[in-house]
Every structure is written in structure tokens, then in C-alpha cells.
Amino acid sequence: MITTITVFFPLLGAILLLLLPEEERPLRYAALAVAAVPLLLTLYIYFAYGSGLEVPSLTQDFTWIGSLDIGYRVGLDGLGFGMFFLTALLTLIAVVASYDVRENLKQYFAILFIAEVGMLGVFASEDLILFYIFFEITLIPMYLLVGIWGDENRRQAAIKFFVYTFLGSTVMLAGFLAFGILAGTYAMESLTSGGGLGRTAQIAVAAPILFGLLIKVPAVPLHGWLLDVYVSSPISTNVVLSGILPKLGTYGLIKVAIPLLPQGVQPFLPYLAAFGVINIVYGAFVAFLQPDLKALVAYSSIGTLGFILLGAASGNAVGLNGAVLQQVTHGLYSALLFVLVGVIATRTGTRKVSELGGLAARMPWAGGLLVLGAMAAMGLPGLAVFVSEFMSIMGGYDAFPVQGVLAALGIVLSAMYLLYMLARVVFGPIERPAYEAVEDAGPMEMAAAVPLAVLLVLFGVFPALLISVQRPGVEAVISAIGGG
């Protein structure tokens, strides 16, 4: 019950917000309050249940359409909990970071909260059709967030995002439907290890599902929609867009594709690992070439998603744990970087790396946090991303040595462009006289950035805080692979 309440609370909040008068300050406080509730509920779940999430009070199972065995089935497990928490957290951060949204604020928050319903729902679904429905609920809100509040390029960005991901998810739905018809049910629990399907059938079903999920991630040849969307969005949308949305795809891999269709996915695994490596290397190289700081962060974000693919493809406990953890840590660091890009862009009036320089002197806080975020992105030990990337590479190396080694090289590449970026933007001489007068990040901006930085350090030092929760979920995946 508490899961359902957490998932649908933002919808209630959205409706309440729409009823409020059009006054900025009360609206922002109300939105903060709405966004805080799911986070508090999630924290309550964490402290009350911890690593024993699979209890009746967190699961619900109603038959929805009996003849097809489609149900409203929700629950939390180790795989989803981290993302559930991250969704609640980043939505709150997005509300805090919404200082760059000035027009139609009420509607902005309402749409953001409807997107949150979809995202929370995906990470709690235990039924394929329900998973798909929640997956798609995020689509229109994201289209609107980019389309209404984005920059001048927003029209193309919004429709591109929509068409790509709608195509992907429709193909994925075809796979789900075929799976359900062949197996006679859509309950994930009964579908574990193939739901009785033979190897050939599993492969036929897995192919469209993987395609749809990889578009969402996006895995590199399928990433055509991404850059415009990331660059056009307002910063607070970026937080959600880069922090959570790609995880709908990767989570689908870890929660649906791999445990439910182990034999079907198996022939694709080397390619999946290769996709991961391509993401890492391609993301790093292209990020290096970006003149725009926001585009650089966007490609950096694509790159480190590759570690999730690699770890998921490994099929062993270390790699899967790394992948599940990387989903969370990636969200933390990319959200942090986007928030800081926003701070820098509003202060200096430019996002061009070549026009920036020497910000550390004038903006010690923002500059320092940017250094921390970049260090996290390159996988520096002591920060959370290091743990998850390291585990992904270890697991990946075990299963696919070549891909594992290449992925490790990718870390070096990412260090190159990130250090270059830091040297240009944060350090060095002050590039323009105008920058002498820029102010450091304000209280709201710090409120958005600091929690993320703190969590990056916290999970870097105590990764067990998350790993202990996710371990039972990962073990279930391992046993599903073995059982297939």
C-alpha cells in the first residue's frame, strides 16, 4: 500500500498545485512540500525495511483483466529501490533548481510531478503491461517540459524526443505482448527465467524488448534524439532527464530483459557489453570535442551510462551490483553537473568552454563543486561513481575480457576531457573582465547542488548503504539466469 501511495502522491500534488493561485513564492513552497513527501516515504521504507523489501506491506496484487492475466502488481525490490529513491530525490532537486523557470510555474511543477508518477511507477512495477504504461506516462510530460520551457531549439528537440522514444517503446510493447501471450501471463514473478518459453521463442521476444530499451538509454547508434533534448531543456528538467529517464531503459534490462528472458538475452550479451564500451569511448571522445559545456556534460552522461550496460551484460554478481549501483551514482553526478552548468551559464551568460576561464577565483563554491562532480564523473576513488564503475568493469572483465579492458581505458579518456574542461573553465586566468564581477552560487543553487555532492561522498565512502539493499534483488537475477 505504501508503495502505491508513494507512486501516486505526486499526481495528487499536481492536482492540488493547479488549484493554487498564481503566486510565485507560495507555489514554490507548495511544490517543495509535494516533492518532499515521496522522498520522506522512501526514506521511511529504507529505514523500516532496509534489505528485506519483499514484504506484503510493500506489495500489491490486483487482477485487472482476468482473461489476459494482466494485473496491477507493484512492489519494491533491491533492483528498483535505489532508483525509486533517486527519482524522489532528483524530483525534489529539480523543484529546488527550477529558479530558471519563470513562466507558467504552476503548470511546470504539475507536469514534472506527473512525470514523477510514471518514473516511480516503472521502478515499482511487477507486471509487464503496468511497466509499459508507467514507462509511457513519462513521455508526454517530458515532451511538454522540453517543448514549453526549453530554449529556441525546443520544437525540434521535443518532437524528436517523442518520436524516437515512442517508436522504441512501441516496439518494446510488441515484445511484451508476444511474451505475455506465449507465457499466458504478464506477472513478472511467474515469468522469471522465461516463463516456460523455449530458447528460440525467448530470443524472438527479447530482440524487440532490447531494441526499445536501448533507444531509451540511449545506446550509442540509437542516441540521435539525445543532444538536442538535453541542450534545449531548462536545467531543472535536465536533472530529471539525465538522472532518471535513461534508467528506465537500463532498469528494464536488469529487471525485465535479463531475469525474465535469460536464454533469449544470452546471445545478445556480448553485443550489449560492446554497446556499453562504445558508449563509454564514444561519449568520451565526443564530449572532448564539444564547445558547449552543457553538451559536454550530456555526452559525459551518455558515456558513463555505458558502465551500466557493461555491468548488466556481465551476468555475474559483481557486475550486476555495479550496474544497479551505477544507475544511482550516475544520476547523482550528472544531476550535479547539470545544476552547476546552469549556475555558470546564468552568471557568465555563456556556456562556451572556450569563453570561460578562471571561475574558481570568483565562484569558489560553484567551482569547487564542479571539480567534485567532474572527479566523480571520472571515477575517482572515494566518490560513489568509482565504486560502481569499478564493480561494473570487474564483472564485465570476468565475462567479456576485451570489453572489460576497453571500458577501463574509457576511464582514462573521460579523465582527459574532464580535466581539460576543468582547466579551461575553473582554473587558469580569468578569461574576461566581466567575470571579475560574477557572484558565487546563491542559496537556492547551493541547496540543489550540495545534497548531491554530499551523497556522492557518502556513497563513495559507504557504498554498503545502497549495496546492502540491492543485494537480494541482484541475487534473484543471478538465480533467474541460472534457472533459465
Partner 1 sequence: MVTGLTFLALLPELVAVGFLILVLMVGVFFQRSIGLVAALAALGALAVFGSAAGLLAAGFSGEFFGGGFVVDNFALYFKLIVAGSAFFAVLAAARWSGGTGDAPEYLTLIFSVVLGSILLVSMRDLFGIFLAIELATIPSYAMVAFDRRRQESAEGGMKYLITGVVASSVLLYGIVLIYGVTGSALLSDVSQTFSGSLTPVALLGLVLLLSGFAFKVSAAPFHFWTPDAYQGAPTSAAAFLSVAPKAATFAVLLRILLEGMPEARPTWTVLVAVVAILSMFVGNLYALRQTNVRRMLAYSSVAHSGYVLAAFAALQGAGVATAVQAVLIYSAAYALMNLGAFFVIELVGDTAKSFNGLFKTRPGLAAAMLVFMASLVGIPPFGGFFGKLWVILANAQAATTLTYVVVGALVLNSVLSVPYYFGVIRSMFIEEPVVDADTGGPKENDSGVRLSIFVLAAATALFAFFVGPLAALAGASGLL
How far is 295 from 283, CA to CA, in rounded Å?
A: 11
- Contact mark string toward partner 1, 67..96, x via CB under 8 A: xx----------------------------
CB of 9 to partner 1, least distance (A): 17
Q: Which is nearer to partner 1, 46 or 162 (CB)?
A: 162
- CA-to-CA dists, residue 145 to 16, 83, 103, 120, angstroms: 19, 21, 12, 18
Cβ atoms of 380 and 386 closer than 8 Å:
yes
CA 262 to chain centre: 24
Region of 30-38, 165-173, 254-262, 334-342 interacting with partner 1 (CB under 8 A)? 165-173
Q: Which is nearer to partner 1, 57 or 63 (CB)?
A: 63
The answer to whether residue 155 forms part of the interface with partner 1 (CB under 8 A) is: yes
Alpha helices in 290-316 (DSSP H): 293-314
Q: State the DSSP H helix or E strand holding residue 64, giving kind and residue range, or none if neither.
A: strand 60-65
Q: Give φ, ψ of 71 to 5 degrees.
A: -140, 160
Q: Which is nearer to partner 1, 18 or 409 (CB)?
A: 18
Angle in degrees, CA 168, 207, 261, rounded to 5:
115
- CA-to-CA dists, residue 42 to 58, 134, 300, 471, angstroms: 11, 19, 29, 18
Per rule CB under 8 A, count of chain residues that contact partner 1? 33
- Number of neighbours of residue 447 by Cβ within 10 angstroms: 16
CB of 50 to partner 1, least distance (A): 32
CB of 133 to partner 1, least distance (A): 4
- Contact mark string toward partner 1, 116..135, x via CB under 8 A: -------------x--xx--
Cβ atoms of 216 and 257 closer than 8 Å:
no
Enter the C-alpha cell of residue 121: 511507477
How far is 295 from 238, CA to CA, in rounded Å?
A: 11
The answer to whether residue 148 forms part of the interface with partner 1 (CB under 8 A) is: yes
Q: Which is nearer to partner 1, 170 or 468 (CB)?
A: 170
CB of 115 to partner 1, least distance (A): 14
Choice from 26, 43, 44, 104 touching partner 1 (CB under 8 A): 104
- DSSP bridge pairs for 60: 74
- DSSP bridge pairs for 73: 61
Q: Which is nearer to partner 1, 82 or 121 (CB)?
A: 121
The answer to whether residue 154 forms part of the interface with partner 1 (CB under 8 A) is: yes
Enter the C-alpha cell of residue 124: 515499482
The answer to whether residue 140 forms part of the interface with partner 1 (CB under 8 A) is: yes
Residue linked to cell 507536469: 111
Choice from 181, 434, 454, 464 touching partner 1 (CB under 8 A): 181
- CA-to-CA dists, residue 177 to 33, 128, 162, 164, 208, angstroms: 39, 9, 22, 20, 11
3-class secondary-structure state, position 380: coil
Q: Which is nearer to partner 1, 46 or 131 (CB)?
A: 131
Choice from 144, 310, 328, 372 touching partner 1 (CB under 8 A): 144
Q: Which is nearer to partner 1, 229 or 378 (CB)?
A: 229
Single-letter amino acid code for the residue at 419:
L
The answer to whether residue 65 forms part of the interface with partner 1 (CB under 8 A) is: yes
The answer to whether residue 167 forms part of the interface with partner 1 (CB under 8 A) is: yes
Cβ atoms of 141 and 118 closer than 8 Å:
yes
The answer to whether residue 107 forms part of the interface with partner 1 (CB under 8 A) is: yes
Choice from 16, 20, 37, 177 touching partner 1 (CB under 8 A): 177
Choice from 8, 49, 64, 271 touching partner 1 (CB under 8 A): 64
- Contact mark string toward partner 1, 290..309, x via CB under 8 A: --------------------
**Binding site residues, partner 1, CB under 8 A:** 63-68, 104, 107, 129, 132-133, 136-137, 139-140, 143-144, 147-148, 154-155, 158-159, 162-163, 166-167, 170-171, 174, 177-178, 181
